[in-house]
Structure 1
Amino acid sequence: MRILVSNDDGYFAPGIAALAEALATVGEVTVVAPERDRSGASNSLTLDRPLSLRKAANGFHFVNGTPTDCVHLAVTGMLDYLPDMVVSGVNHGANMGDDTIYSGTVAAATEGFLLGVPSIAVSLVSKAATDFSAAAQVAKELAERFLRSPFKRPVLLNVNVPDVPYPQLRGTRVTRLGKRHKAEPVIKSLTPRNETVYWVGAAGGAADAGEGTDFNAVANGYVSVTPLQIDLTHTGLIGPVAEWLA
């Protein structure tokens, strides 16, 4: 089994090191990740300049681009084979609910899915994570399950793992995305040159965190696994919009 690993925290992040080490017991691992932290990059591709691909001392490859760039470059240019799986992470922080729209971690997995490869995004729900071993173990078990029983078509799974030791995880729940409140206001500050700058505010709390959501599963100690799709069509509005335009 050949596994492509990426992330959005950068090739030097402890989460990707833990993930690559765990997955190396399942198959052949190739790591291609951004050269710096690209959290929040979403599904952006770099089209205004060329990309460079370099190899670090630890064997990981890094790209001066986005998480999507990394997976796209690896699958369509670097590798001479199609990976059996793309695994992105382990992200430092949650990617639940609305987070998935902005997440570079989810974007890397999404690019693999769009290129026809079963893909998983793995995140550790913690603001001060120091131990990524439980999340890496969860990713390993999912890869092993895929190896034993592969899906008949590519899938895109968003996985969020509570920040507890592996033995304390209560199990796995298949969930839907919840929804957050709107984000906190931007934070205004002044530079030493007396220029006004703005920092994007923190994500809001969970507004829809009921039974069946990713928020609810993680809050109760379960690993959340959410199947994602790319079709953004609001099918319920096709008829009303057609009538409105008639």
Structure 2
Amino acid sequence: MKHLSKICLGMALSSTLVFSPIASALNIVLTNDDSWATPNINILKSQLEAAGHDVIMSAPCTGQSGKGGAMTLMKAVPVDKSKAAQQAYCVGQTDATLAFEDYAEGTPVMAVLYGIDVAAAQVWGSAPDLVISGPNEGNNLGYMNNNSGTLGAAMVALSRGVPAIAVSGHMNTANDEAQSQLVAATVVKIVKSLEDNRPEGQALLPAYTGLNVNTPEDMTNHLGIKFTDVGWNGGGHMMAFTDDLGANREMMSYVAQSIMQRTGYDFETSYQIAVAQFTGQPGLAMESGDAGDSSDNSEGVAVSQGYITISTIDGNVQAARGKVALVSQRLVGLE
């Protein structure tokens, strides 16, 4: 059944990934984990609206990468409504001078729930037709999806019965608008394909079902769309703890991208600032590794090869029945 649904989705998308008038306008909640100020989310909002959709942006006020399904509980959480006329809201505290006990971050999960429960109810009087989480600045692949705020927002939307698409681009989309425009155009095409091919009276995707979409570094010369499994491969990266973050080129490149976005400095200058800031400091870093998964059908492998990948997700942590049987044999007699 899983392979059949993937084949059907593939046929639908491959037959409609061309520009043509939108079938009908959708009510879409757009969120991310990089904040509402990123080029990626604003470019996608503009392209979705140009395609005829009604879009509410409800995203964290500040960067919340790697927060997964995190939530701030038992604290009042501010919502910035200064751009309500543009149907754009951000969730979370921004005053860094506050004491820890008074500071309430707006995580991706909280931001998308504001969009579904409050903003959508006020604007449309109903739940959205679709949640799109992203595009993220950096790919979310394989086992790394467990930590992703982009995926965390998509998963909580699925739990509320709303179809969801998680979208992640290469890190270069943080500063390369041309790449961001191409990623956004791909998302608009995917949404159109889902709308064009959904059975009458049904949701865009089956219940509790979403998509994890990743785009490669060079969207100008990508190899096309490949329908993949999530797998374990994180795109050639593994997380590891190091006692010297400044010596890790992967992590310093990521930090440099953030510095470039804030300051406008070139990459080399930003990289040197990052190294100076983190040399000798311990913390989590990215290292090369495939988590033991080199399958060509894993999204982490395919996106590294240059494909746009689409994996079907459902938020279910239940192991396959075959694995359940193997484990239960080792627990025989347990009371």
TM (norm. structure 2) is 0.66
Larger Rg: 2
In 2, the alpha carbon distance for the partners of 1:156 and 1:121 equals 8
Q: Deviations over 1:116-140 (max 9, x none)?
A: 1110011112357413111111111
Task: Report the equivalent of 1:74.
Answer: 115
Task: Report the equivalent of 2:138.
Answer: 93
In 1, the alpha carbon distance for the partners of 2:312 and 2:32 equals 19
In 2, the alpha carbon distance for the partners of 1:152 and 1:42 equals 23
Establish whether residue 144 from structure 1 lines up as the match of residue 192 from structure 2.
yes
Task: Report the equivalent of 2:4.
Answer: none
Contact map agreement 1:187 1:201 (CA 8 A) in 2 = no
Contact map agreement 2:57 2:115 (CA 8 A) in 1 = no
Contact map agreement 2:238 2:286 (CA 8 A) in 1 = no
Contact map agreement 2:56 2:115 (CA 8 A) in 1 = no
Task: Report the equivalent of 1:185.
Answer: 241
Task: Report the equivalent of 2:29.
Answer: 4
The structure with the greater share of residues assigned to strand is 1
Contact map agreement 1:7 1:33 (CA 8 A) in 2 = yes
SS at match of 2:300: helix
SS at match of 2:285: coil
Q: Deviations over 1:182-204 (max 9, x none)?
A: 42323358xxxxxx963222254
SS at match of 1:159: strand
In 1, the alpha carbon distance for the partners of 2:184 and 2:166 equals 11
Paired amino acid for 1:198: P
Task: Report the equivalent of 1:158.
Answer: 212
How far has the Cα of 1:50 moved from its partner?
1.6
Contact map agreement 2:40 2:173 (CA 8 A) in 1 = no
Establish whether residue 239 from structure 1 lines up as the match of residue 328 from structure 2.
yes
Structure 2 residue ranges without an equivalent (≥5): 1-25, 93-105, 199-204, 246-279
In 1, the alpha carbon distance for the partners of 2:295 and 2:72 equals 38
Q: Which moved more, 1:96-105 or 1:214-223?
A: 214-223
Equivalent positions of 1:219-230 (< 5 A) are 219-230=304-315
How far has the Cα of 1:231 moved from its partner?
2.0
Task: Report the equivalent of 1:192.
Answer: none
Contact map agreement 2:137 2:171 (CA 8 A) in 1 = yes
In 2, the alpha carbon distance for the partners of 1:115 and 1:14 equals 28
Task: Report the equivalent of 2:63.
Answer: 37
Task: Report the equivalent of 1:63.
Answer: 91
Paired amino acid for 1:169: H
Paired amino acid for 1:232: V
Q: Deviations over 1:66-116 (max 9, x none)?
A: 000011122123321110000011111010011100001111111111111
In 2, the alpha carbon distance for the partners of 1:241 and 1:23 equals 51
CA RMSD of aligned residues (A): 2.2
Among candidates 153, 171, 174, match of residue 227 of structure 2: 174
* Closer/same/farther in 2, CA of residues 156 and 197 from structure 1, 3 Å limit: same
Question: What is the total number of aligned residue pairs between the two structures?
Answer: 239
SS at match of 1:55: strand
SS at match of 2:168: strand
Among candidates 70, 78, 84, match of residue 52 of structure 1: 78
Equivalent positions of 1:81-120 (< 5 A) are 81-120=126-165
TM (norm. structure 1) is 0.88
Task: Report the equivalent of 1:200.
Answer: 284
SS at match of 2:146: helix
How far has the Cα of 1:22 moved from its partner?
1.5
How far has the Cα of 1:62 moved from its partner?
0.2
In 2, the alpha carbon distance for the partners of 1:133 and 1:86 equals 19
* Closer/same/farther in 2, CA of residues 158 and 78 from structure 1, 3 Å limit: same
SS at match of 2:286: coil
In 1, the alpha carbon distance for the partners of 2:287 and 2:160 equals 30
In 2, the alpha carbon distance for the partners of 1:34 and 1:98 equals 24
% same residue: 25
Paired amino acid for 2:59: A
Q: Which moved more, 1:196-205 or 1:24-33?
A: 196-205
In 2, the alpha carbon distance for the partners of 1:100 and 1:228 equals 11
